[in-house]
């Protein structure tokens, strides 16, 4: 899952980026409204954290532009403390949730996780496919109840497929959603990650759909 953070306070922005990366997300950080708007319109994100008070273009305008462009990714807006009118304006402009500063990072992560889950149509943060279980809260993966250790990139790939269970996901889509923009992307590495995940979780867990991509099916479904 890939996230865009648009936040102009350098310390807060960097801290959020590090926290989100440690929680298993690919993260891009933008520090002004113009650049943030550009990234949101041109890259592929599963959710966006958007500060409202931004240089160049303010957050509400950015959000309004994205929605007018038809972009539907979930957006969590960061507002000033007690800025109730900001919250109302944010929700009216198409925000899915908001959080007032200062906030606990844990709450932000939990809210973001819920937004991503709802956007992909999952009711629980425990995702399952056959004997494989992925807990998006703890980042743990188990096979028949036994913990399985995945690398950060393997986890990101599996998590994306599990959030989109039953759908065919192309290699390009996977690349767009598991790497941040600074990453040196190589589509061949996707095949390598899939091979490693199959070794750890079983060959049948991810199906290759020739010429289209990959699909994760639930054998019990």
Q: By the criterion CB under 5 A, which residues form the site for Ca ion?
A: 8, 51, 53
In the complex, minimum distance from the CB of residue 159 to Ca ion, in angstroms, rounded to a whole number: 30
In the complex, minimum distance from the CB of residue 54 to Ca ion, in angstroms, rounded to a whole number: 6
Query: How long, in residues, is the chain?
Result: 221
52 vs 157, which CB is nearer to Ca ion?
A: 52
Please list, residue by residue across 46-77, b when 16 or more beta carbons sit within 10 angstroms of its beta carbon and e when fewer do: bbbbbbbbbeebebbebbebbeeeeeebbbbb
51 vs 97, which CB is nearer to Ca ion?
A: 51
In the complex, minimum distance from the CB of residue 140 to Ca ion, in angstroms, rounded to a whole number: 34
Strands (E), 32-165: 47-51, 75-79, 97-100, 126-129, 132-135, 140-143, 146-148
Token pair of 47 as six digits: 């959710």
80 vs 88, which CB is nearer to Ca ion?
A: 80
55 vs 166, which CB is nearer to Ca ion?
A: 55
What is the pairing mode between strands 126-129 and 97-100? unpaired
In the complex, minimum distance from the CB of residue 203 to Ca ion, in angstroms, rounded to a whole number: 49
3-state secondary structure of 215: strand
Separation CA 15–CA 21 (nearest Å): 10
In the complex, minimum distance from the CB of residue 106 to Ca ion, in angstroms, rounded to a whole number: 21
Separation CA 78–CA 100 (nearest Å): 6
83 vs 213, which CB is nearer to Ca ion?
A: 83
13 vs 213, which CB is nearer to Ca ion?
A: 13
Return the axis-axis angle of helices 187-201 and 171-178, rounded to nearest 10°. Answer: 90
Q: Which whole-number Å values give the CA distances from 46 to 53, 120, 148, 169, 192, in the listed order?
A: 22, 9, 25, 14, 23
In the complex, minimum distance from the CB of residue 7 to Ca ion, in angstroms, rounded to a whole number: 7
Position with the least CB separation from Ca ion: 53
């Amino acid at each position: 899952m890939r996230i865009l953070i648009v936040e102009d306070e350098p310390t807060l922005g960097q801290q959020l980026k590090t926290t989100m990366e440690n929680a298993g997300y690919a993260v891009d950080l933008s520090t002004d409204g113009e650049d943030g708007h550009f990234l949101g319109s041109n890259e592929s994100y599963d959710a966006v954290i958007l500060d409202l008070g931004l240089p160049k273009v303010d957050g509400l305008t950015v959000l309004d532009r994205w929605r007018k462009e038809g972009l539907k990714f979930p957006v969590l807006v960061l507002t000033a403390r007690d800025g109730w009118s900001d919250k109302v304006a944010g929700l009216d402009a198409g925000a899915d949730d908001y959080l007032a500063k200062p906030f606990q990072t844990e709450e932000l992560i939990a809210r973001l996780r819920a937004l991503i889950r709802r956007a992909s149509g999952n009711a629980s943060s425990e995702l399952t496919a056959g004997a494989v279980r992925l807990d998006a809260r703890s980042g743990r993966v188990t096979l028949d109840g036994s913990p399985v250790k995945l690398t950060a990139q393997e986890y990101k790939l599996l998590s994306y497929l599990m959030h989109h269970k039953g759908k065919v996901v192309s290699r390009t889509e996977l690349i767009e959603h598991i790497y941040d923009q600074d990453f040196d992307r190589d589509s061949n590495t996707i095949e390598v990650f899939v091979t490693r995940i199959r070794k750890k979780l079983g060959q049948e867990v991810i199906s290759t759909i020739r010429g289209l991509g990959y699909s994760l099916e639930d054998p019990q479904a």
